[in-house]
């Protein structure tokens, strides 16, 4: 259906449905033990691609599929580090953007094998930082992308971590979302994004956002990642 014919209620429902499917996909990844010692990042990525096809009939992803383990968890999205093998005590994160019936999901989670306290602490810090970022968004109706970015960087520091990325999220919508994004910088939660996040896109529809949190401990060589819809929820 053309996007102009889709009501805002349908847009919101479609984005939430896409995220629900991403949650189910990641749950199945864990249930099937795909994040396992001895598996390479690329092999896990391919297995998740095939699982998404089996579960939902989708093999399209609007951004590159990311599986990062070990030292690679320090690397931001735009990096392309060498393919690593998951270790028995690894911290590993997934960042996938599957397209479900022309609607984008963007979902990230972190997993720890073994019982390393620092890795577990990092994994467990991600969602609370994300939630506090969301709380700030809801408490500041005129917040800009730059302001929210600065806030989550400060939240990371307060929590004892470093923020590992130059962005903290982006617009999301019908594939491809960049066609509705307007000025590129203002399509992201990042320094220099001066427009209010609560605004209409070029087609006169409300903008919807993903918030992503990348925390790192460079001294330990570990990082973690968490992302999902910022402004929409069930």
Residue pLDDT, tens place only, 17-35: 999 999 999 999 999 999 9
| Per-residue burial over 74-111, b = 16 or more CB atoms within 10 Å of its CB, e = otherwise | bbebeeeeeebebeeebbbbbbbbbbbeebbbbbbbbb
Containing domain of residue 224, as a range? 3-229
Please report the pLDDT score of residue 158 as a whole number.
97
What pLDDT score was predicted for residue 194?
95
Residue 68 lies in a domain: yes
Asked whether residue 234 is assigned to any structural domain, the reply reads: no
Helix boundaries (H) for the chain: 8-31, 41-56, 117-139, 145-158
Distance CA 74, CA 223 (A): 5
The number of folded domains in the chain is 1
Rg (CA), the chain: 17
Q: Nearest to residue 7, comparing CAs of 182, 210, 203, 228?
A: 203
CB 190 within 8 A of CB 168: yes
Q: Say if 24 falls within a structural domain.
A: yes
| Among candidate residues 54, 58, 51, the one with its CA nearest the CA of residue 67 | 51
At 46 the pLDDT is 94
Q: Is residue 196 part of a domain?
A: yes
Indicate the pairing of strand 99-100 with strand 103-104.
antiparallel
Read off the CATH number of the domain in which 94 is found: 3.90.230.10
pLDDT value of position 177: 54
Q: Could you tell me if residue 91 is inside a domain?
A: yes
What is the model's pTM? 0.93
* DSSP assigned state of 228: E
Q: Quick one: how far is CA 121 from the chain centroid?
A: 19
Residue 160 domain-assigned (yes or no) = yes
Over the chain (234 residues), what is each successive 10-residue block's mean pLDDT?
71 93 95 98 95 88 86 93 97 90 88 98 98 98 98 98 96 64 79 96 90 98 98 93
Residue 109, strand partner residues: 94
């Amino acid at each position: 259906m053309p996007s102009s014919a889709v009501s805002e209620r349908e847009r919101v429902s479609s984005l939430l449905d896409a995220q629900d499917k991403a949650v189910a996909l990641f749950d199945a990844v864990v249930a099937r033990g795909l994040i396992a010692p001895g598996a390479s990042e690329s092999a896990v990525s391919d297995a998740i691609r095939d699982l998404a096809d089996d579960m939902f009939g989708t093999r399209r992803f609007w951004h590159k599929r990311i599986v990062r383990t070990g030292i690679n968890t320090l690397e931001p999205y735009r990096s392309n580090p060498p393919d690593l093998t998951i270790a028995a005590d690894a911290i590993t994160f997934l960042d996938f953007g599957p397209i479900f019936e022309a609607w984008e999901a963007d979902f990230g989670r972190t997993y720890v094998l073994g019982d390393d306290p620092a890795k577990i602490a990092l994994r467990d810090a991600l969602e609370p930082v994300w939630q506090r970022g969301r709380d700030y968004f809801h408490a500041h109706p005129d917040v800009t992308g730059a302001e929210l970015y600065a806030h989550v960087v400060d939240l990371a520091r307060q929590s004892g971590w470093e923020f590992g990325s130059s962005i903290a999220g982006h617009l999301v919508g019908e594939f491809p979302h960049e066609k509705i994004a307007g000025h590129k910088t203002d399509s992201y939660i990042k320094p220099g994004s001066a427009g209010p996040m609560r605004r209409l896109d070029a087609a006169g529809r409300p903008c919807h956002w993903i918030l992503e949190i990348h925390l790192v401990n460079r001294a330990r060589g570990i990082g973690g990642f968490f992302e999902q819809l910022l402004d929409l929820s069930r």
